[in-house]
Structure 1
Amino acid sequence: MSLPFDLRALRVFLTVADRGGFSAAARELHVAQSAISQTIANLERHLDLTLFHRHERRISLTPEGQALQSHARELLDRADAAHLAMRELHGLVKGEVRIGIPSMLGSYYFPPLLMGFKSRHPGIRLTVVEAGARRLQNMIAAGELDLGVVIDDEQSRRMERRPLVHEEMVVCVPRTHPFAGRQGVSPEEFFAEPLVLFQDGYFHREFVDALSQQTGHSANVAFQSNLIPLTKAIVRQGFGITTFLRRVIDEPELAAVSFDPPAWLDLSLAWAEGAYLSRAESAFAEFIEANRHSL
Structure 2
Amino acid sequence: MNSKQLRYFHEVARLQSFSKAAETLHIAQPAISMSIQKFERQLDIRLFHRNDRKISLTDEGQRLFRHAAIILKNIDDAESEMRELKGLTQGSVRIGIPSMLGSYYFPPILMAFKHLHPKLNLEVIEGGTWQLQQMVEHGELDLGVIVSEFVPEILHTELFLQEQMLVTVSKDHRFATQQSVTYEDFFSEELVMFQEGYFHRKIVDRIAAQIGAKPNIGFETNLIPLIKSIVKQGFGISTLLGMVIEDDDDLIALPFSQPVRLDLSIAWNKDRYLSQANQAFVRFMLDHRSSQKAKQTL
Q: Measure, in 2, the Cα distance between the counterparts of 1:157 and 1:174.
A: 40
Shift in CA distance, 274/216, structure 1 to aligned 2, threshold 3 Å: same
Alignment of 1:122-271 (within 5 A): 122-250=118-246, 251-271=248-268
Q: Does the CA contact (< 8 Å) of 1:97 and 1:125 recur in 2?
A: yes
Note the residue ranges of structure 2 that are not aligned, 5 or more in a row: 1-81, 294-298
Per the TM alignment, residue 143 of structure 1 is displaced from its structure 2 partner at its CA by: 1.4
Q: In angstroms, what is the RMSD of aligned CA positions? A: 1.7
Matched residue count: 211
In the other structure, the counterpart of 1:284 is: 281
Q: What is aligned with 1:273?
A: 270
Report the alpha carbon displacement of residue 88 of structure 1 after superposing the two structures with TM: 7.0
Deviation at 1:162, TM superposition (A): 0.8
Structure-2 separation of matches of 1:123 and 1:154 = 34
Identity across matched positions, percent:
50
**Greater Cα radius of gyration, structure 1 or 2:** 1
* Distance in 1 (alpha carbons) for counterparts of 2:118 and 2:156: 26
Question: Any idea what SS the aligned residue of 1:217 has?
Answer: coil
Distance 1:88 1:143 in 2: 19
Residue equivalent to 2:104:
108
- For residues 204 and 88 of structure 1, the distance between their equivalents in structure 2, rounded to whole angstroms, comes to 37
Report the Cα distance in structure 2 between the residues aligned to 1:280 and 1:155, rounded to whole angstroms: 23
Could you tell me how far apart the structure 2 residues matched to 1:97 and 1:151 are? 20
Check whether the contact 2:93–2:277 (CA below 8 A) recurs between aligned residues. Answer: yes
Q: Quick check: 1:196–1:221 contact (8 Å CA) kept in 2? A: yes
| 1:88 to 1:150, Cα distance in 2 relative to 1, 3 A | closer
The structural deviation recorded for 1:205 is: 0.5
**Structure 1 residue ranges without an equivalent (≥5):** 1-85
CA 1:101 to 1:89, structure 2 compared with 1: closer, same or farther past 3 Å? farther
1:203-253 CA-partner distances (Å, limit 9, x unpaired) = 010011011011211100000000000010000110000001121113110
Query: d(CA) in 1 for partners of 2:196 and 2:143?
Result: 21
> Could you say what secondary structure the match of 2:88 adopts?
coil
Asked if structure 2 preserves the Cα contact closer than 8 Å seen for 1:146 and 1:272, the reply is yes
Distance 1:268 1:221 in 2: 28
Aligned to 1:218, what secondary structure does the other structure show? coil
Q: Distance in 1 between matches of 2:186 and 2:196?
A: 19
Distance 1:291 1:256 in 2: 26
One-letter code aligned to 2:235: F
Equivalent AA in structure 1 for residue 238 of structure 2: T
* Preserved CA contact (<8 Å) 2:190 2:237: yes
TM-score normalised by structure 2 residue count: 0.68
Using the alignment, how far apart are the partners of 2:153 and 2:245 within structure 1? Answer: 30
> Against the structure 1 CA distance between its residues 171 and 207, is the aligned structure 2 distance closer, same or farther, given a 3 Å change threshold?
same
